[in-house]
Amino acid sequence: MSEIIAEKLINIDSIQFSFNKHFILTSGLKSPVYVDCRKIISFMNERDFIMDEAVSYFTKNNLEFDFVAGGETAGIPYAAIISEKIKKPMLYIRKKPKGFGKNQQIEGQFNQKQKAILIEDLATDGGSKAIFVDAMRNAGLIVNDIFVIFYYDIFNIEKTILSKLNVKIHSLCTWKDIIGVIEKKKLFNFNEINNLKDFLSNPYDWREKNV
């Protein structure tokens, strides 16, 4: 199922590749790939399929929670869809307090010690996830799980912020699945696929070679 989702993400250009003119990321660093899971919301069939798989994943893995919490901004639409499908209440978490009114960082109604699962579109090294998890825990919520559609899963977990959060990352698709699809479908040539593998195994060395 993970490779089916990987193929759908490739088909709708949520996963984009450029081996000649590299992408420039927000950080200013180069990359031969760009991941944009926000695009899923515009493709009804793919969106419904992926969200149904998310619900199925929760059931198969016995994930228990009181609230579905969407992280600002990309996680909010997916949290809303999942909330509706499983009939559980939703919250959304700001990156920082809104700065006026009650200065809230969490929108919605909840009680202390209720359990929430954080929903996001993707996870890299977990930097933004720490902001959301910390805000939820500081507000008295219990957070043990983060669910994403796409997880990079290329970083040493012990060296990332994720290892300090004491949460479990759940995902429907990783780079392993993407590589599996492009190799089986022969979407790129041997050198391009190896170039991508080099980037994913060590982006720092890859960038030294591709200045």
On the 0-12 / 13-18 / 19+ scale of CB atoms within 10 A, 64 is exposed
**Interatomic CA distance for residues 187 and 179, integer angstroms:** 10
Residues (pLDDT < 50) of the chain are none
Domains in the chain (CATH in brackets) are 2-209 (3.40.50.2020)
Q: What angle (nearest 5°) sits at the alpha carbon of residue 50, between those of residues 65 and 64?
A: 10
Q: In terms of residues, how long is the chain?
A: 211
**Interatomic CA distance for residues 160 and 114, integer angstroms:** 27
Q: What is the structure's pLDDT at 100?
A: 61
For residue 18, what are its two tokens?
């450029």
Nearest to 144 by CA among 126, 170, 120, 179: 170
For the stretch 156-183, what's the b/e string if a residue is b when 16 or more beta carbons lie within 10 angstroms of its beta carbon?
A: eeeebbbeebebebbbbbbbebbbebbe
For residue 139, what are its two tokens?
């507000």
**Interatomic CA distance for residues 132 and 94, integer angstroms:** 7
CB 75 within 8 A of CB 118: yes
**Interatomic CA distance for residues 88 and 110, integer angstroms:** 12
Q: Phi first, then psi: what are they for 25, rounded to 5°?
A: -80, 170
Tell me: cis bond preceding 73? Omega within 30 of 0 counts: yes
CB 71 within 8 A of CB 93: yes
Read off the pTM: 0.92
Helix (H, G, I), strand (E, B) or coil at 45: helix
* Half-sphere exposure for 15 (CA within 13 Å, toward CB): 22
